[in-house]
Structure formats: structure tokens, C-alpha cells
Amino acid sequence: MFPHPVTRRQLLERCSIGFGSIALAGLLAEGAEMSTALPGALSQLHHAPKAKHVIFCFMSGGVSQVDSFDPKPMLKELHGKSMPVKVERTQFNNNGNVMASPFEFTPSGESGLPVSSMFPEVAKVADELAVIRSMTSPVNEHAQGNFFMHSGFPMMGHPSAGAWVAYGLGAENRNLPGYVVLQSGNAVAPHGGVSLFSNGFLPAQHQGSIFAADRADAVRNIRPLDEMTRQRRRLDFVREFDSRFLTRAAENAQVEAAIQNSETAFRMQSAVPEVCEISGETQATLQRYGVDSGDPELAAYGRQCLLARKLVEKGVRFIELSCLTRNIGAGGAANPWDQHGELARGHKRMAEQVDQPIAGLIQDLKERGLLEETLIVWAGEFGRTPFSQGSDGRDHNPLGFSIWLAGGGVKGGTVYGATDDLGYHAVENPCTIYDLWATVLHQLGVDHRKLTFRYGGRDFRLTDVHGNVLHPILA
């Protein structure tokens, strides 16, 4: 009858306390940063990890596979003709004829991986990429597709992959969150809103923290309203009261954690602006990422990529990047790649935005020896139809699309899976989003079936009850 001893998970579940709370003793030491890593829910990894960080380049709106990484010569042959196979339901039901890609594919790198002319810079690092051409999603609309891509469930309420990673692995840096979402310029949360970055039912410190990469106050309320010395005085004064309260509260662990938490917040005020500051970077680096570009969206995305590297250096576990809209063909702020019309121009302009920065990121990470421990995931929530929508757009296609992984123990220059001759359905080694996250977790040293959280009478996973590690793309 006597209660079971409290497990670590129960403790987290019941009074989930902020980063900083588990290792209370460690917190008291000022100044230490990387040295006081905070353990995650997993007391030990399930196997030796290949990667420690994830950078998720989310291509919101859906990139066309047949225009990016999945060349389909047959589209050229059939261009303008009606689809030779059954056309599945599309979201706009304004289906035209087969539409050839306006882009050319070139075998790139030593591996000869075909990359379309949309991505000339990424093509230069083709030997780092493992392209999955047979990705599928059960969802054909943005919001639910985004939820699915992020959490494995098509609606709000479930933890995002970044939150799972932060929860499972803990933080390497107690002054920065484990899961950071970068935005800059006109970037906003994709359809579905900030709940896409939610901790769901996991403890709240694992939710994605949005950093505005190009703003002085990168995080909400991070800019002190007072001079730091004044603020320090206030906190010290408050601490006098708090410690008396703590005594009255019989050293209640939660109250104690809350008190420590104020200190973390205080330190974040300098840690965040510090990590967001790019003035220390060389001109060559800025150029490589496109930060100095005259194209404002390219420059803004470049800044996110550069910041992603800095966050990796600081030990942040999971970093998600946000595209900026070019306002072409239905691609709005929440779904910039959504070219239901003007696909050729829209995709070209969107690709220009991310091509150089991402290629720069990969090269930079590699030169700094960080690519080995950083897994880059490049994906949209679905692909696009090989036939046109209206005259010059493409509708959503979740039945078969391309994504790629790089770094973090991935076998570069690989192609895995295939779609049919039209690039419509995944036919060879079809993959699910669960497979993707199972693989990502695997590289982080985690068995996706064993990273669970009990909620509402079930042990939930990022991969629900599915998912297989995609070993063929791993080195």
C-alpha cells in the first residue's frame, strides 16, 4: 500500500522542472556552462551515438520532388498529356496534365547524385547527402501535415521531434534551451502555429524556443528592462524573501527549483544575445552563408544557418530553421514553398533562398569537424504532384516525395527508395515519417521504441507504434 518510490520519470511528469532543476547542486556554480550538462530522461543511451545534434531544415509548404532530387525523364516525354495513371484526390482538385520539370538534373559530386539546377550550391556537397526518394505522409494538407511531420500525429497536443530529443538526451548547455526554432525576416510558424514546436505532454522545458535570429531581442522578453546591475540587485533582494519562503515551505523541491530557475533566466539574458551575435564571424564566413547577400530573404536564411552552427557549438540539441516567403503562387508566410501556381519561378526563388546558406552550413560544419556529430534533416511536409495544378503550379503530393539527410553518420551520396516513373507514388522501399524519426533517434543513440512518456494511459513515442531505422542510408 505504501507508495512506490518516485521514479525520475514520475518526478518529471509531476513537477516537471526547468532546465537547471535536476542538477540543483550544479546550478549553484556560477559561470560553468558546458561542463554542467543536464541529463535527459534516458539514464544512458541505448547504443553508441553517431550524432549529438540535429538541424532540421524544414521546407514549409512542400518542395516538389520531381524538380529537386527525383529526376523523372518520363515527365518530359508525357509533358502536356493527361496522366497515364489514376489521379488520387488532391487538395484543390484542379488537376492538369503531366508537367515536366522546368529544371535540369546534373549528376553531382563523386557519387554522381542527381541534383536539379534549383540547387547548384547544394549540388557541390552532394557527396554528403543521403536522399530518400520514397518518403510518404498520410496527410495532404499543411497544418495536419506539419503536425505529422513534427510529431508523428496529425493534430496538436503531441510533442515535437525536437522536444522528444531534448527530453531524451537532456541539455549540454544549461543556459540555452535544448530545442530552438530559428526565425528571421518575414518567417513565421508554419500552418498549425507554434503548437508545432510544442512539448505536448512532455515537461515544458523541452518546448521549442523561438529565436528571432536577426533581432536584438531574439527571445520573447529576453531583453532586460533594467540595467543588469539593477536587475541583479532586484533578484538578490527577491532571493532574500524566497529563501525565507523556502524555509517556511519546508524546502519544498518545487519551490527550490523555481528559485533556481530565476537564476537560469537571469543568465539566459546574456547567453542568448551572446550566441545570436555574429559580429565575431569573419567576412569569409558571412559570405559563405550569404549573410551579406543583397537578397534580403537569402541573407535572413543565411543568418539562421550561421546561427544554427553557433547553437550546435553551444550544445543545443535540436535546431529547426524556418523558410521565408517570396510570395509566389500561394506560398505565403506560413507555407513559402507552396507553389500551387508559378511553380518554376516560385521554386527557383525559394531554392535561391536556401541553397547557398545550407551548402555553406554543411561546408562550414565539415571544416570545423562538426558535421560528423550533427545530423541535418532537409524535408517539407509533403511533395508535389507530377501533373500540373492549373497551368503552371503543382498541388500537394504526400504519396511519394524526397527528403535528405546529411552528416551525423549518414552515408553521403546515397539514394534510397524510389517513386514510380512519374515520381508520383513511392514504389521502392516506401518510407514513413516514423522511419525518418526512428533513424534520427537511432543516430542519436536512442532506440525509438524505448523513448517513451506515459500520458493518458499510454506510453507514447515519437514514432507512435511504428517506425523502422533506415539502415541502408547509414554509414
Partner 1 sequence: MTLRPTSMDGIPAHGSSWLTSSCLVLALALFSIDGRAETPANEKPAHDKIDFFETRIRPVLIEHCYSCHNSSETAEGGLVLDFRQGLLKGGDSGPALKPGDPRSSLLLQVIRHELEGLEMPSASPRLDKSIIADFETWIRDGAVDPREHPPTQEELAKGPDWAEVLEKRKQWWSFRPITRPSVPPVTQPDWCRNDVDRFILAKLESRQLAPVGDAAPEVLIRRLFFVLTGLPPTLEELELWRTRFNSPAERDITVSQLVDDLLARPQFAEHWARHWMDWFRYADSHGSEGDPDIGEAWRYRDYLIRAFQSDVPYDQLLREQIAGDLLESPRLNETLQINESAIGPAQWRMVFHGFTPTDALDEKVRFVDDAIDVLTKGTMALTVSCARCHDHKFDAISQADYYALFGIVGSCRPGRTVIDLPEVKNTHVTALQNLKQQIRSKVASAWLSALPELTQQAWTPAPGTSITPAGSLFFPNDPTGPESGQSDLSRDWIRNRKQWEEEHQKTKEFLNHPDVQVWNMGLPQEDSHWIPTGTGPELNEPDAAAWTVALTGDQILADFFPKGVYTHTLSTRHAGRISSPDFTAKERQNLWLRICGSGRSVARPVIQHYPRAGTVFPIVTPTEDWKWQRMDLNYWNGDEVFVEISTSLDAPIPTSREERSWFGVRDVVIAPHGVDPPARKFRDAHDLFFDERIPAPASVPDLKQLWIQQMSEAIHAWQSGELSDAQADLLAAGLESRLLPNEFGTLPEVRPLVEEYRRLEQEIPVPQRVPGVSEAVARDQPLFIRGNHQTPSDPVPRRFLEAIDATPYATQQSGRLELANSLLADDNPLTRRVIVNRLWHHLFGSGLVRTPDNFGRMGEEPSHPELLDWLALRFSDHHWSMKQMIRELVLSRTWQLDSFPGSDATERDPENRLLSHASIRRLEAEAIRDSLLQISGQFDSTRYGPPVGGGSNRRSLYVAVRRTALDPFLRAFDFPEPFSSTGRRDVTNVPAQTLMLMNDERIRGLAAAGAASVLQNPKTVNDLEKIEWIVQAALSRSASVEELQFLKQYIDDSWSFQKTQHQLRQQKQETLQQLQLRDSDLLAQARIKLGTSPQKSAPPSAGLVSPVARWNFQNGLQDSIHGWTLKNVNNVMIEGGAARLNGTNYLVSTPLTVPLKEKSMEVWVELETPSQRGGGVLTVQSSSGEVFDSIVFGEMAPQEWLAGSDYARRSKSFQGTPEREAIQHPVHLVITYQKDGTITAYRDGLVYGKPYPVKSLVEFSPGETVVTIGLRHLPAGGNRYFQGRVYLAQLYDRALSADEVATSYRSSTLVETAKRIMSILTDEERLELKQNREQQTQLQADIAALPETEPQMALSVWTDVVGAVFLMKEMIYLR
Task: Identify residues 135-154 at the interface with partner 1 (CB under 8 A).
Answer: 138-144, 154
Q: Chain-centre distance of CA 201, in angstroms?
A: 19
Query: Closer to partner 1 at the Cβ: 79 or 248?
Result: 248
Q: Per CB under 8 A, which region of 26-34, 117-125, 165-173, 250-258 contacts partner 1?
A: 250-258
Q: Mask 48-67, x = binds partner 1 (CB under 8 A)?
A: --------------------
Q: Per CB under 8 A, which region of 11-19, 62-70, 75-83, 302-310 contacts partner 1?
A: 11-19
Q: How far is the CB of 289 from partner 1 (least distance, A)?
A: 25
Q: How far apart are CA 182 and CA 303, in angstroms?
A: 9
**Residue 330 makes contact with partner 1 by CB under 8 A:** no
Q: Please calculate the CA angle 401-467-114 and round it to the nearest 5 degrees.
A: 30
**Residue 248 makes contact with partner 1 by CB under 8 A:** yes
Residues 338-377 that bind partner 1 (CB under 8 A): none
Within a 10 A sphere around the Cβ of 110, how many other Cβ atoms? Answer: 10
Query: Closer to partner 1 at the Cβ: 53 or 191?
Result: 191
Q: How far is the CB of 325 from partner 1 (least distance, A)?
A: 15
Start-to-end Cα distance in the chain: 51
**Residue 329 makes contact with partner 1 by CB under 8 A:** no
Query: Closer to partner 1 at the Cβ: 96 or 408?
Result: 96
Hey, which residues does 459 pair with through a beta bridge?
454
Burial call 193-231: b when 16+ CB within 10 Å, e when fewer = eebbbbbbbbbebbbbbbbbbbeeebbeebeeeeeeeee
Q: Which of 242, 295, 420, 421 binds partner 1 (CB under 8 A)?
A: 242
Residues 382-401 that bind partner 1 (CB under 8 A): none
Query: Closer to partner 1 at the Cβ: 106 or 261?
Result: 261
Q: How far apart are CA 43 and CA 169, in angstroms?
A: 9
**Residue 18 makes contact with partner 1 by CB under 8 A:** yes
Query: Closer to partner 1 at the Cβ: 12 or 470?
Result: 12
Query: Closer to partner 1 at the Cβ: 268 or 370?
Result: 268
**Residue 47 makes contact with partner 1 by CB under 8 A:** no
**Residue 266 makes contact with partner 1 by CB under 8 A:** yes
User: Beta strand 452-455 with 458-461: parallel, antiparallel or unpaired?
Assistant: antiparallel
Residues 93-112 that bind partner 1 (CB under 8 A): 93
Task: Determine which helix (DSSP H) or strand (DSSP E) holds 306, and give its type and residue range.
Answer: helix 296-313
The angle that helices 161-169 and 433-443 make with each other, rounded to 10 degrees, is 30
Q: How far apart are CA 277 and CA 198, in angstroms?
A: 26
**Residue 245 makes contact with partner 1 by CB under 8 A:** yes
Q: How far is the CB of 365 from partner 1 (least distance, A)?
A: 28
Q: Which of 254, 270, 327, 391 binds partner 1 (CB under 8 A)?
A: 254
Q: Which of 86, 89, 280, 294 binds partner 1 (CB under 8 A)?
A: 89
Q: Please calculate the CA angle 231-268-321 and round it to the nearest 5 degrees.
A: 145
Residues 208-237 that bind partner 1 (CB under 8 A): 209, 219-225, 230-231, 233-235, 237
Q: Mask 180-209, x = binds partner 1 (CB under 8 A)?
A: -----------xxxxx--x-x--xxx-x-x
Residue 317's alpha-carbon distances to 55, 141, 209, 274, in angstroms, are: 8, 29, 12, 18
Size of site (CB under 8 A) for partner 1: 86
Determine whether 57 is exposed, middle or buried from the number of CB atoms within 10 Å of its CB (0-12, 13-18, 19+): buried
Residues 432-471 that bind partner 1 (CB under 8 A): 450, 452, 454, 456-459
Choose among 326, 334, 349, 331: nearest CA to 393: 331
Cell (9 digits) for 317: 540539441
